[in-house]
Amino acid sequence: MAGFLPKPVSEFHKIPHARVAIVASMWHPHCVNAMVDRAVAELKKVGVSEKNISIHTLPGSLELPYAARCLFESDSALDAVIAFGVVLKGDTTHDDNVMQNVVDGFGRVSDRFHKPIINEVIGVTSVEDAEKRSDNSVANKGVEAVFALTELLAWKASLCSSK
């Protein structure tokens, strides 16, 4: 169930030197923007400087892997990308196609650049489901994204420091 993290927000790793790009879909902006805003707030709490956070808005979720690739190509110092989008289930299989292409695209980009992409493009059956995952609680996917990012970057740093 959403909103239950493995550790409290107060115990997230600090990542003060991280450079993070956020890519976000234009669809369902009240939900997506709430997730982005929460992620930015949580990134600041773990020490990321506002100047090291960039936000990029794209037409839809299908464009997010392409945007991540372009960002990594244009900025070799970028540590990670966090992606937000809402894909609403409809009467066709379009939502399944979008979600699969997003996941596959992020995997290819992450493998190519050896950098994490935190995927918070959520597939939901109703706008109300998306609203629950973008509200002002710890269930907001922005919180989950920052948790995953801090864990990955701390883990990666521990590999480098053990050599």
Q: State pLDDT tens for residues 38-81.
A: 999 999 999 999 999 999 999 999 999 999 999 999 999 999 99
Q: What is the mean pLDDT of residues 89-106?
A: 90
Q: Is 47 left (phi over 0), alpha (psi -120 to 50) or beta?
A: left
What pLDDT is attached to residue 2? 47
- pTM of the predicted model, to two decimals? 0.94
What pLDDT is attached to residue 116? 97
Residues 11, 22: Cα–Cα separation, whole Å? 22
Annotated catalytic residue within 28, 30, 56, 94: 94
Q: What percent of the chain has pLDDT over 70?
A: 97
User: pLDDT-based confidence at 82, cuts 50/70/90?
Assistant: very high
Residues 86, 79: Cα–Cα separation, whole Å? 24
Tokens 């970028």 sit at which residue?
Answer: 78
Options 3.40.50.300, 2.130.10.10, 1.10.10.10, 3.40.50.960; CATH of 16-161: 3.40.50.960
Handedness of CA 33, 130, 6, 99 (dihedral sign): negative
The model's pLDDT over 8-25, given as tens digits with 9 standing for 90+, comes to 999 999 999 999 999 999
Residues 57, 114: Cα–Cα separation, whole Å? 23
Q: Is 13 a catalytic residue?
A: no
